[in-house]
């Protein structure tokens, strides 16, 4: 919703400032759009691995939806971690082996549907619980492994944002390309009247206008928002890591969950009392 509102503000203010002094029809130049956007998309495809190209489009379209990393998701995560830690403490680590091996059919994991919908998060939780069940109990080694994996995950999560950012940097240049082609076309009308020449020059200048507008009005903000969502995802995994490490270091389930709560970004972090009341419903 935020992305849609921002786009409407950009278009509304631009047209609101322009239309009292000029006509809208001159701005409608489909061929200029084909040159600018086609060139930018082609360069984007050439420059990036296939999965980055796909992720850039899919994640860009996903910005129309609210960020999934909100307070409700974090509450579910804390509740899920508490249930896992509590069961493992009372019944032993082997009691959660079936849940870890098949989380999609696990009543434990399915009790947190928002978390269960993120297969990367579920895989991360299960992989490290599986290591703990298998006897990997050295907290320093496991934490180093988590840090390595999360650094790699963050780097990959930021790649679509960086790739889209490069497109925004190139769009003004493609706008100039379209404008130069428009001027070349205009040269063929030098024997026409002044109004005809002025029309073709206007069409050429629209190419520069569109390249700059697309770059800084739409694509650069999309790149920034993709980066923000990647950061939010990394923070979410950081909470999981903090909770797992606290549990591995021998803290009681509720204390380990409190460690996780403190790692939640402040804008989404529930209070201690909110979590405490919520956990009472999870026992």
Answer yes or no: is 81 within a domain: yes
Answer yes or no: is 207 within a domain: yes
pTM as predicted? 0.88
CB-facing half-sphere around the CA of 71: CA atoms within 13 A: 9
Q: Which two tokens stand for residue 25?
A: 């029809």
Q: Report the number of distinct structural domains present in the chain.
A: 1
Does pLDDT of 273 surpass 70?
A: yes
Answer yes or no: is 8 within a domain: no
Compute the average pLDDT of residues 20-26.
76
Answer yes or no: is 5 within a domain: no
Q: Which two tokens stand for residue 274?
A: 């909110």
Q: Which two tokens stand for residue 109?
A: 């994991």
pLDDT digits (tens, 9 = 90+) for 189-233: 777 778 888 887 888 888 899 999 999 999 999 999 999 999 999
Report helix, strand or coil for 207: helix
Q: Which domain holds residue 180?
A: 30-280
Q: Rounded distance, CA 87 to CA 36, Å?
A: 58
Q: Rounded distance, CA 51 to CA 55, Å?
A: 6
Q: Rounded distance, CA 283 to CA 271, Å?
A: 19
Residue 22 has φ and ψ, to the nearest 5°, of -155, 170
pLDDT digits (tens, 9 = 90+) for 31-86: 889 999 999 999 999 999 999 999 999 999 888 888 899 999 999 999 999 999 99
Answer yes or no: is 14 within a domain: no
Q: Rounded distance, CA 201 to CA 204, Å?
A: 5
Q: Which one-letter DSSP state was computed for residue 67?
A: P
Compute the average pLDDT of residues 245-274.
94
Q: Rounded distance, CA 126 to CA 129, Å?
A: 5
Counting beta carbons within 10 angstroms of the beta carbon of residue 67, is it exposed (0 to 12), middle (13 to 18) or buried (19 or more)?
Answer: middle
Answer yes or no: is 264 within a domain: yes
What integer pLDDT is reported at residue 283 of this predicted model?
Answer: 63
Sign of the Cα torsion 35, 39, 40, 42 reads positive
Answer yes or no: is 11 within a domain: no
Answer yes or no: is 93 within a domain: yes
Does pLDDT of 21 surpass 80?
A: no
């Amino acid at each position: 919703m935020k992305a849609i509102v921002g786009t409407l503000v950009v278009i509304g203010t631009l047209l609101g400032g322009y239309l009292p002094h000029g006509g809208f029809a001159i701005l409608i130049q489909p061929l200029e759009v084909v040159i600018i956007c086609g060139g930018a998309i082609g360069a984007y495809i050439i420059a990036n691995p296939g999965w980055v190209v796909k992720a850039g489009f899919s994640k860009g379209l996903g910005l129309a939806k609210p960020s999934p990393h909100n307070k409700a998701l974090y509450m579910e995560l804390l509740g899920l971690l508490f249930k896992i830690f509590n069961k493992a403490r009372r019944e032993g680590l082997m009691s959660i082996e079936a849940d870890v091996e098949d989380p999609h059919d696990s009543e434990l994991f399915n009790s947190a549907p928002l978390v269960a919908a993120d297969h990367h998060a579920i895989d991360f939780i299960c992989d490290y619980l599986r290591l703990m069940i298998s006897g990997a109990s050295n907290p320093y080694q496991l934490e180093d492994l988590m840090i390595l994996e999360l650094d790699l995950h963050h780097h990959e999560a930021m790649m679509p944002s960086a790739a889209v950012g490069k497109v925004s940097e190139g769009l003004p240049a493609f706008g100039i390309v379209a404008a130069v082609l428009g001027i070349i076309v205009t040269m063929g009308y030098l024997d026409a009247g002044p109004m005809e020449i002025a029309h073709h020059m206007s069409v050429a200048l629209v190419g520069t206008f569109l390249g700059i507008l697309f770059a800084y009005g739409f694509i650069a903000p999309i790149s920034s928002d993709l980066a923000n969502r990647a950061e939010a995802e990394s923070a979410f995994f950081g909470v999981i890591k903090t909770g797992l490490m606290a549990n591995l270091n021998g803290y009681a389930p509720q204390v380990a969950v409190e460690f996780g709560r403190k790692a939640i970004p402040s804008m989404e972090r529930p209070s201690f009392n909110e979590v405490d009341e919520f956990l009472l419903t999870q026992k």
